Structure 1
Amino acid sequence: MTPSATGRRETRDGHDSVVMDRVFRAPIESVWAAVTESDRLERWIGTWTGDPASGSVLFRMNAEGDDAKPETFTIHECDPPRRVSLTSQVVGEQNAWHFVLELTEDAGTTTLTFSQSVPDAEMATGVGPGWDYYLDRLVAAETGGDVAALDFDDYYPALSDHYRALFS
């Protein structure tokens, strides 16, 4: 079954970005932990090492195969449990990505708004489906679902045209 594309195009922190929301019936502190604590991140995307107080951590994705290169995540702003702004750069490469995660809570329901900078339509064809996949994995991890049951091949290339159109 092909999942739905959930992303939209917006300017975030001065960057042309793909933006997606996910809603959790959970307190904001729990969702914050799911997107910032290494052991909680490991359940759906990867792990980080280092000291965030230094302003950066080393992050490695866990669903990208054994040859996934570590990324340095520079923390620009951190306002727990509401907002974190980051830039990532794969070690040894030039490309950098800007991310913003914002959380709001209302009556026990928390909305996560995620954004990543996207420089062009061709890059959007992979970034968009990739984040629909990973954010669906986050939802599965936080709701007791089977993260392993989600298959990236259901997302890419099926959702690519949606994201190409957004950034064309």
Structure 2
Amino acid sequence: MRITGAPETVDGQDHLVLTRTFTAPIGDVWAALTSSERLARWFGTWTGDPSTGRVDVTMTFEDDPPVEPYVIEVCEEPTRLRVRTEGDDPEQDWVLDARLSEDAGVTTLRFAQVLTDPAIVTDVGPGWEYYLDRLADSVRSGDVATTTWEGYLELGPGYAAAFGVPDARGGGATARSD
């Protein structure tokens, strides 16, 4: 298993960017990202009324999952969804940006997370690899049972090296080369 995420700077902000491709129509992948029923297959559920610009998300594949409020910043069906968590500490909020495009029956997802603290990439990088692989299984077959957490945690040092940050699991600082 290897990392697929990469660092990218957009508008002066560091991002973790991951890409996945699907042999599926853009509308199908969009539904997997935005329909609570489809999202539940690989990530979690949401409740509330999206037309208000806010929903509550429960990550159903985590131990003791909290319910987190998400603000919908951009929703351009079926090509872009940008959301951010809204907690007590704005420095801890996550900004997530999903962009979809389709060409000849293949849909590409460009998924990005703003990194207010690049050091978190050693944890969130492996986490997004896991969840996006679950998304790919969900779109392909509707079943995510073949994607387990085993092995994903081992991607942390690779993310530390790619982003030039200390490995939170005990490694030293590494150099980023871009």
What TM-score do the two structures reach when normalised by structure 1? 0.90
Max Rg structure: 2
Describe the SS at the equivalent of 2:30: helix
Is the 1:120–1:167 contact (alpha carbons within 8 Å) kept by the matching residues of 2? no
1:141 to 116, 134, 138: 138
Is the 1:121–1:165 contact (alpha carbons within 8 Å) kept by the matching residues of 2? no
Is the 1:121–1:164 contact (alpha carbons within 8 Å) kept by the matching residues of 2? no
Describe the SS at the equivalent of 1:148: coil
Matches within 5 A, 1:1-168: 3-12=1-10, 14-65=12-63, 67-90=64-87, 92=88, 94=90, 95-144=92-141, 146-156=143-153, 158-168=154-164
Distance in 1 separating the partners of 2:47 and 2:143: 26
1:53 deviation in Å?
0.5
Say if 1:141 and 1:100 are closer, same or farther in 2 by CA, change over 3 A. same
1:13 deviation in Å?
5.8
Amino acid at match of 2:9: T
Is the 1:12–1:115 contact (alpha carbons within 8 Å) kept by the matching residues of 2? no
What is the aligned-residue RMSD (CA, Å)? 1.6
Distance in 2 separating the partners of 1:82 and 1:45: 19
What TM-score do the two structures reach when normalised by structure 2? 0.85
Is the 2:41–2:143 contact (alpha carbons within 8 Å) kept by the matching residues of 1? no
Runs (4+) of structure 1 moved beyond 4 Å? none
Distance in 2 separating the partners of 1:120 and 1:153: 26
Count of residue pairs brought into register by the alignment: 163
Is the 1:17–1:116 contact (alpha carbons within 8 Å) kept by the matching residues of 2? yes
Aligned-residue identity in percent = 45
Distance in 2 separating the partners of 1:16 and 1:78: 22
1:74 deviation in Å?
0.4
1:163 deviation in Å?
1.3
Amino acid at match of 1:154: G
1:145 deviation in Å?
6.6
1:4 deviation in Å?
2.1
